[in-house]
């Protein structure tokens, strides 16, 4: 029975690791998106970092990406920054790929 228990434990560990990597990648994507949006909003330095953190925190409100999209889109619209829904969603998608690659690269080191 120990072989079965060992396999079960290995699968549980892999699932936990994968979930952690997914969480880190999403948080990284949100930070990168926040930095990108901060630049569009004319924020620099500590203000840009604070804004990026606020985007990361916005993702904790509900499951999925919609809370992040709504926050960033509203902030851009409030400052009169013209970014279409398609542009913002594409940027989010592109940054997801970039963030996942960064996190995987760091995990490999």
For residue 10, what are the contacts with CB-CB under 8 A and spacing of at least 6?
none
Domains of the chain: 2-108 (1.10.790.20)
pTM of the entire structure? 0.84
Output the tens digit of pLDDT for each of the chain's 109 residues.
578 777 788 888 888 877 888 889 999 999 999 999 999 999 999 999 999 999 999 988 787 889 999 999 999 999 999 999 999 999 999 999 999 999 988 877 5
Alpha helices of the chain — where are they, by DSSP H? 2-40, 45-58, 66-78, 85-108
CB atoms within 10 A of CB 94: 14
Q: How far, in Å, are 22, 31, 32, 33 from residue 51 at the CA level?
A: 22, 9, 11, 10
Model pLDDT, residue 109: 56
């Amino acid at each position: 029975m120990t072989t079965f228990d060992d396999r079960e434990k290995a699968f549980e560990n892999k699932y936990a690791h994968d979930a952690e990597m997914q969480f880190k990648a999403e948080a990284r994507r949100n930070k990168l998106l926040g930095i990108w949006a901060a630049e569009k909003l004319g924020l620099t330095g500590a203000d840009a970092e604070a804004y990026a953190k606020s985007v990361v925190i916005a993702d904790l409100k509900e499951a999925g990406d919609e809370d992040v999209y709504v926050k960033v889109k509203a902030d851009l619209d409030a400052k009169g920054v013209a970014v279409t829904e398609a542009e913002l969603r594409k940027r989010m998608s592109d940054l997801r790929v970039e963030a996942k690659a960064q996190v995987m690269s760091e995990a490999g080191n």
